[in-house]
């Protein structure tokens, strides 16, 4: 029976944790992909119910972050509460999804540095993000100009495809290396 020093045990624990990072990354990437898809569906729903301008300013909504904390704003608005909520929720989910994309990209660089497809497809999604944010703002401030709305959707699709690529590549990489958590 071989005895391990405390240092050996610590090194083994660190190595086990390092091996689990790629396993966790693929779940983060998958979650980010799903959130992005839901965000796109919510954007389509917002457009379909005619709520694209129900928050007439940007980045706030009627000059506030949460219009529902001011019932007088919602009551006097020319849109229904459902329309305002749809646009407001789309913006909120966009912010959360943007942070997830940032986290996914940082995690890709940390855990898959040697796997170029994982890293660069996540980085590409992050690179499209500022363009998407600007287009989202212009969609409102330019009163739903068709070219801007279409560009907003087009960039969303590019982000979704980039996230799909990093997610599938990470899952494929994990299957090749079979390093589940212990």
By annotation, the residues acting in catalysis are 87
Contact 156, 43 (CB under 8 A): yes
SS3 65: coil
Contact 51, 81 (CB under 8 A): no
Specify burial of residue 3 (Cβ count, 10 A radius: 0-12, 13-18, 19+).
exposed
Rounded CA-CA distance 30/164 in Å is: 8
Rounded CA-CA distance 59/137 in Å is: 7
The HSE-up count of residue 55 (CA atoms within 13 Å, CB side) is: 26
SS3 61: strand
């Amino acid at each position: 029976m071989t005895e391990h020093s405390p240092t050996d045990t610590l090194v083994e624990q660190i190595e086990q944790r390092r091996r689990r990072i790629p396993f966790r990354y693929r779940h983060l990437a998958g979650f980010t992909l799903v959130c992005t898809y839901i965000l796109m569906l919510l954007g389509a729903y917002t457009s379909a119910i005619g709520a694209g301008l129900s928050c007439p300013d940007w980045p706030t909504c009627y000059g506030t972050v949460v219009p529902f904390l001011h019932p007088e704003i919602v009551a006097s608005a020319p849109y229904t509460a459902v329309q305002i909520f749809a646009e407001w929720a789309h913006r909120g989910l966009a912010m959360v999804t943007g942070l997830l994309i940032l986290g996914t990209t940082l995690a890709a660089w940390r855990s898959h540095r040697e796997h170029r497809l994982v890293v660069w497809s996540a980085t590409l999604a992050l690179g499209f993000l500022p363009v998407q944010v600007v287009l989202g703002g212009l969609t409102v401030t330019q009163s739903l100009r068709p070219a801007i709305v279409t560009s907003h959707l087009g960039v969303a699709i590019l982000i979704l495809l980039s996230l799909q690529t990093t997610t599938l590549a990470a899952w494929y990489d994990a299957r090749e290396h079979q390093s589940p958590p212990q």
